[in-house]
Structure 1
């Protein structure tokens, strides 16, 4: 039987995200902004709820930025819809749950290794997703 997020406690989900190293604040970009590195390949999409992910980001990642601008590097290589991709609606929910004061400081998003589907999505909906609408 395959496991899903409803079978794993929120605390265990947060521990799994931490253990797998999906998110890490690592280094600075050319403009001196801290970088949030996200590795899509290791994201356990089937085992992590949007709520657990939001809480993890709020408690463990966002405090690292203080009041300064930051950028995100998302590595999409090895991401598959059936395994480790949470889906577009989940990504939108996660983005919408980010506090405004954090979103306002996000100055750049670098998307590495996009497949054709993600390229089409970003070309069509990226501006809507990453702007206030």
Structure 2
């Protein structure tokens, strides 16, 4: 299950070639027959030496087969990784030259200061993301444009689910596509993903997504019932969020409901 509480910390997260197979070519002798290198005695049984040789040959074939399979797998993974990297580079180039004001003007995704360990904080306001009335390709390009320089080092994300509706939910297919496109550095350098004001639906979907699609970040996801819980990780003066979030927070949680205890780095 997704963490409902969190501990704030500065985590980091030549072979020898087998011999060629050789057959056994022995002279014909009385009572024996040579058949493809396997000697048969007069009773039709296999001699112990021939049997041993046959086992060695089979083992060699097995080893060769495994090695070839590993080599093919490495080549396939390398080519697939190269294709993903090239695709990302093309998207990054487009993100840098195309007009993305349609997305940036919404204000749903932005950087807001740093956390208590000096790591950039990326804020995402779910209520302001018009999932069904926006060009999702441009949304992806804007995401890449904003995050590419940030994810070169450690960073954290604060997602506010406050007052969102079904109109703000992108499809799981799109989320999976985005996750598969983003390079490894996005996952590796993400140190925490905070979900503020989660609902039962959010918790279930997050559990499903991090279990079956993005297990690499599962331990980094923390569901928080209120904004003030973030202050243990992020100073209040570093967190710029819309007024509707703090107003809603006071409505459901009251005033000063949590005293942050920041962990020293």
TM-score (norm 1): 0.76
Alignment of 1:34 onto 2:120: yes
My pick for the range that moved more, 88-97 or 30-39, is: 88-97
- The CA RMSD over aligned residues, in Å, is 2.4
For 1:71 and 1:95, locate their aligned partners in 2 and report how far apart those are by CA, in whole Å. Answer: 16
Instruction: Work out the CA distance in 2 between the residues paired with 1:111 and 1:129.
Output: 18
Q: Give deviations 1:48-94, integer Å, cap 9, x for gaps.
A: 2432222111223322x16210000000112111x221132222222
Kept in 1, the 8 Å contact 2:123–2:159? The answer is: yes
User: C-alpha separation between the residues in 2 aligned to 1:36 and 1:84?
Assistant: 18
Whether the 8 Å contact between 1:71 and 1:106 is mirrored in structure 2 is yes
Distance 2:115 2:146 in 1: 21
Distance 1:94 1:106, change over 3 A: same
Structure (1 or 2) with the greater strand fraction? 1
The runs of 5 or more residues in structure 2 that have no matched partner are: 1-97, 218-265
Q: Counterpart of 2:160?
A: 75
* SS of residue in 1 equivalent to 2:194: strand
Moved runs in structure 1, 4+ residues, more than 3 A?
127-130
Pick which of 26-35 and 84-93 moved more.
Answer: 84-93
Determine if contact 1:17/1:43 at 8 Å carries over to the other structure: no
Residue 25 (structure 1) aligns with:
111
Deviation, structure 1 residue 32: 1.9
Shift of 1:125: 3.6
The unaligned stretches of length 5 or more in structure 1 are 1-10
Q: 1:129 to 1:108 in 2, by over 3 A?
A: farther
**Residues 129, 168 of structure 2: 8 Å contact kept:** yes
Radius of gyration: which is bigger?
A: 2
CA contact (8 A) 2:187 2:216 kept: no
- Say which structure, 1 or 2, has more relative contact order (CA 8 Å, 6+ apart): 1
TM-score (norm 2): 0.41
3-state DSSP class of the match of 1:93?
helix
Structure 2 CA distance, aligned partners of 1:123 and 1:28?
27
1:17·1:44 contact (CA, 8 Å) conserved in 2? Answer: no
